[in-house]
Amino acid sequence: MSLIPEQFDEVRQQIAATCLRCNRALDSVQLIAVSKTVSVEDIRQGYDCGQRVFGESRLQEALPKMEALPGSIEWHYIGRLQSNKLRKILAQFDVIHSVDSYRMASLMDSTSKELGVYPKIFLQVNIDQEENKGGFSIDKLRVEIADIYALGRVEVQGLMCIPEDGSIEQARDSFRRLRVLKSELEVQHGVKLPFLSMGMSGDYQIAIEEGATHIRVGSSLFGKRG
Ligand SMILES: *Cc1c(COP(=O)(O)O)cnc(C)c1O
């Protein structure tokens, strides 16, 4: 028997309880069900639980799933971006969470013009300044954000981060720093960064407490990845 419906219930209850505890409206948090490595059958179970927003991190894996599943699903791209796959990613995904350079944003902008799309994007920040992690360094983002806003086509939603592996309190600190950075950038550049994409299975409650508007949850919904 599948545990997926129960797991969706459990995560939704946790989100509701956390919102209640920190005085946030339930609809201020969007659950992105991360379905990388998950089969079409299991994704469909999530869909049957009412989930309509799913996240994938690889184009080649996502394409056949998109083909097999209802068109009413909103797909979010959460993986690393490669310029040679950008055109397909822009054509297939509704929101892209992992834009990590001005160069990439600018390429997205020009490709979007050709495709006639207005992609919603998050700027991924390497919040703990890790060697091998994707994302803008904080300094780079401060320099480049004005140029990204000057691009006509991409719609910047906000900031995204994946904290360093560590304790829950370290994760909280990383989430807090991302929130502070968002406010600083908004004031310094007179721009709006309304959303924060942060929090995964191990720490999404903490992320909600620290202001997450988009949580990306995989294994708590679909089970551990093999
Ligand atoms: C895999 C992944 C997630 C989900 O991770 P879980 O721990 O399974 O919830 C979230 N965000 C990104 C960017 C991921 O790659």
Angle between helices 4-21 and 40-48 (to 10 degrees): 50
Alpha carbon distance 157, 99 (integer Å): 11
Ligand 1 pocket, residues with Cβ under 6 angstroms: 34, 36, 57, 78, 162, 200-202, 216-220
Q: What is the pLDDT of residues 73-123, one digit of tens each?
A: 999 999 999 999 999 999 999 999 999 999 999 999 999 999 999 999 999
Ligand 1 centroid to 33 CA: how many Å? 9
Compute the distance from residue 161 Cα to the ligand 1 centre, in Å.
Answer: 11
The pick from 35, 37, 78 for probing ligand 1's pocket by mutation, whose C-beta has the most ligand atoms within 8 angstroms, reads 78
State pLDDT tens for residues 170-188: 999 999 999 999 999 999 9
Ligand 1 atom nearest residue 32's Cα = 10
Residues 114, 136: Cα–Cα separation, whole Å: 26
Predicted local distance difference test score (pLDDT) of residue 145:
97
Q: Which residue has the tokens 């310029």?
A: 83
**For the chain, what's the residue count?**
226
- At residue 226 the predicted structure's pLDDT band, cuts being 50, 70 and 90, is confident
pLDDT per residue over 133-175, tens digit each? 999 999 999 999 999 999 989 999 999 999 999 999 999 999 9
Q: What are phi and psi of 167, to 5 degrees?
A: -75, 165
Longest Cα–Cα distance of the chain, Å, equals 53
For helices 59-68 and 40-48, give the axis angle rounded to 10 degrees: 60
What is the average per-residue pLDDT within 33-59?
98
Smallest CA separation from ligand 1 atom 10, residue: 216
Structure tokens at 86: 């950008």
Q: Is the pLDDT of residue 1 over 90?
A: no
The set of residues, in sequence order, having a beta carbon less than 8 Å from that of 202 and lying 6+ positions away, is 168, 171
Cβ neighbours of 115 (radius 10 Å)? 13
Mean pLDDT, the chain, integer = 97
